[in-house]
Amino acid sequence: MEVVRYLLSLAAGSAMPLGFSPFDLWPVPMLAVGTVFLLTRTLPVKKATLCGFLFGVGMFGAGTSWIYVSIHEFGAASPMLAGLLTGLFVLGISALMIMPAFLLYSWLNQRKAEQSKSNRLPPWQQALLFSSIWVLFEWVRSWLLTGFPWLLSGYALLDTPFSALAPVIGTYGLSLLMVTTACLLFALVIPAKQKRTPDIIALLISLGCWGLAWPLAHIQWTEKTGELSFSAIQGNIPQSLKWDPDFIHSTVSTYIGLTEDQWEQELIIWPENAIPLFYNRAQGLMTHLDRQARQNNTTLILGMPVDDNSGSETRYYNSILSMGDGSGRYDKQKLVPFGEYVPMESMLRGLIDFFNLPMSDFSQGHSEQALIQAGDVKIASYICYEVVYPDFAAQMAQESGLLITISNDTWFGKSIGPVQHFQIARMRALETGRYMIRATNDGITALIDEKGDVVETIPRFTSGVLSSSAEIREGQTPFMALGSWPVLIIALLMILLVIYRKSSIDGPD
């Protein structure tokens, strides 16, 4: 029986990614989490914790399989070594960020049952305890060891009528609503001696929260103040050639050629590290581009590595520059481990090619940076992975009229990683009530409106130009103003409600 529980936990975790893009089967995460809740509610701490670990292995093993593509195809690691490193990542993140949630839940569940001298907590209390701990640990994933807030449950609701809740409660709020409702629904199948009135009341309250999406859908949290014509350039440069010194001229020529007929636009955007040269080694090119942009009264925003010699030692940054009619520079703050810096560098650097990837020695940008500008429009800009952090993105957007994210998802080939990344970017636009322009090397380049809907896009794995107009908007959504703190406080209060409430005796299963 225990082996069956463990296998079911692994299977439930493996099913979780079906709720996210490109599959978008949003009820699946509810079924998966509800299943593992049922599987673990009566288990002792050690067995419940193991179930949680296996759930995490399934979830990250299936949902972040794109890491293998990056390590093998672009990190020059053999299939066996790439599989080993990917497996170690999956095991490590499951052990650090999923298993402790189940350990805490099962320990509190068991301890509370012992204190109340009952067989176990009533199902509705177990459901509240499980869901609140689940969401708190999703939040922990956003900052522990630089953070990995990927596969958050709430993303599954993006393309549903319930997405209207996101500008109010954010992604973690959607997660709390989903998981709480799922656990309460599954709790109703649990036999119990006492009346089920509390279980039904709790479920009705949860379902009532879902219903708030309908009136909220008619509220415009931000208002349009203008428009900005733009062209986003998708170069589709093969990753294997991007940093090849012999191919640099061809790369630059590709972007200049695609931009040639776009200078009448108010804004032109090139993707992350579009110019594979450090800023100080490309002075002639940058002067030329700045002059051409000024002559056409347009703003050119592009990504490139910057070597900063202003301090006692040279620092390298993954940056966005605005030139021509625009101004400002933004240095990336949220760096990707191993991709942009190497933890324990003295030990790992040089062991295998994966630890010597191009541009893997960046410094972290300062937290207090002015927004870049395109003419008079202030723009909140995010480089690649930065867009996965809900509260970070909302804070950056405070004074902005438009969002821009540039990326190079070529690292992940034709895997599901870039599509998941695009879904996450759309949620940031929805949470902040801002239009977002997404410019990438090989897709998905797109214009996203303030509701998180895709207005226009161009095909992946092609070179091309997306030309359109983006609305400039002002105002704040409730999530921008308050962040995730109200949801985290509610989750803590749910835990306290269970811990300090006198429990009635539950019957055997």
Q: Give 162-181 pLDDT, tens digit per residue.
A: 999 999 999 999 999 999 99
Where does the pLDDT of residue 74 fall: very low under 50, low under 70, confident under 90, or very high at 90 and above? confident
Q: What is the pLDDT of residues 379-412, one digit of tens each?
A: 999 999 999 999 999 999 999 999 999 999 998 8
Where does the pLDDT of residue 376 fall: very low under 50, low under 70, confident under 90, or very high at 90 and above? very high
Contact (CB, 8 A) for 501 and 272 = no
Phi, psi (5° rounding) for residue 449?
A: -90, 180
Check if 384 is active-site: yes
Return the number of other C-beta atoms located less than 10 Å from residue 252's C-beta. Answer: 18
Whether the ω angle into residue 22 lies within 30 degrees of 0, i.e. cis, is yes
The predicted structure's pLDDT at residue 119: 59
DSSP for 457-468, please give it.
E--TTS-EEEEE
Contact (CB, 8 A) for 74 and 103 = no
Whether 61 shows a pLDDT value over 60: the answer reads yes
Q: What is the DSSP letter of 224?
A: E
Give the residue among 353, 349, 358 at the shortest CA–CA distance from 77: 353
Contact (CB, 8 A) for 317 and 305 = yes
Check if 272 is active-site: yes
The predicted structure's pLDDT at residue 356: 53
Check if 209 is active-site: no
Q: What is the pLDDT of residues 204-248, one digit of tens each?
A: 999 999 999 999 999 999 999 999 999 999 999 998 888 888 999
Kindly state the percentage of the chain with pLDDT values over 70. Answer: 93
Return the number of other C-beta atoms located less than 10 Å from residue 106's C-beta. Answer: 25
3-state SS class at 402:
strand
Contact (CB, 8 A) for 294 and 327 = no
CA dihedral 130, 6, 113, 119 (to 10 degrees): 130
Q: Which fold has domain 223-334+369-476?
A: Nitrilase/N-carbamoyl-D-aminoacid amidohydrolase (3.60.110)
Q: What is the pLDDT of residues 307-334, one digit of tens each?
A: 988 777 889 999 999 999 999 999 999 9
The predicted structure's pLDDT at residue 314: 87
* Spatial separation of the C-alpha atoms in residues 113 and 383, rounded to whole Å: 48
* Spatial separation of the C-alpha atoms in residues 135 and 193, rounded to whole Å: 30
User: To the nearest whole number, what is the mean pLDDT of the chain?
Assistant: 92
Whether 344 shows a pLDDT value over 80: the answer reads no
Query: Is the pLDDT higher at 62 or at 507?
Result: 62
Where does the pLDDT of residue 508 fall: very low under 50, low under 70, confident under 90, or very high at 90 and above? very low
Contact (CB, 8 A) for 202 and 50 = no
Whether 505 shows a pLDDT value over 50: the answer reads no
Contact (CB, 8 A) for 16 and 63 = yes
* Helices within 306-433 (DSSP H only): 345-348, 390-396, 417-432
CA 146 to mean position of chain CA atoms? 13
The predicted structure's pLDDT at residue 7: 97
Where does the pLDDT of residue 503 fall: very low under 50, low under 70, confident under 90, or very high at 90 and above? low
Contact (CB, 8 A) for 209 and 177 = yes
* Spatial separation of the C-alpha atoms in residues 390 and 428, rounded to whole Å: 7
Give the residue among 197, 265, 260 at the shortest CA–CA distance from 229: 265
Whether 72 shows a pLDDT value over 70: the answer reads yes
Q: What is the pLDDT of residues 261-276, one digit of tens each?
A: 999 999 999 999 999 9
Element (H, E) at 306: strand 299-308
The predicted structure's pLDDT at residue 373: 97
The predicted structure's pLDDT at residue 309: 84
* Spatial separation of the C-alpha atoms in residues 169 and 489, rounded to whole Å: 12
The predicted structure's pLDDT at residue 167: 98
Domain ranges of the chain: 2-218+484-500, 223-334+369-476
Tokens (6 digits) for 309 = 């010699």
Annotated active-site residue in 332, 340, 378, 471: 332
Annotated active-site residue in 51, 112, 138, 272: 272
The predicted structure's pLDDT at residue 502: 64
Annotated active-site residue in 51, 266, 378, 384: 384
Return the number of other C-beta atoms located less than 10 Å from residue 264's C-beta. Answer: 12
The predicted structure's pLDDT at residue 506: 47
* Spatial separation of the C-alpha atoms in residues 71 and 254, rounded to whole Å: 27
Whether 284 shows a pLDDT value over 90: the answer reads yes
The predicted structure's pLDDT at residue 310: 79
Find residue 299's DSSP bridge partners: 267, 324
Return the number of other C-beta atoms located less than 10 Å from residue 204's C-beta. Answer: 10
Q: What is the pLDDT of residues 133-156, one digit of tens each?
A: 999 999 999 999 889 999 999 999
Contact (CB, 8 A) for 40 and 48 = yes
Look up residue 472 and give its amino acid: I
* Spatial separation of the C-alpha atoms in residues 217 and 228, rounded to whole Å: 26
The predicted structure's pLDDT at residue 118: 62
Phi, psi (5° rounding) for residue 414?
A: -100, 20
Q: What is the pLDDT of residues 419-455, one digit of tens each?
A: 999 999 999 999 999 999 999 999 899 999 999 999 9
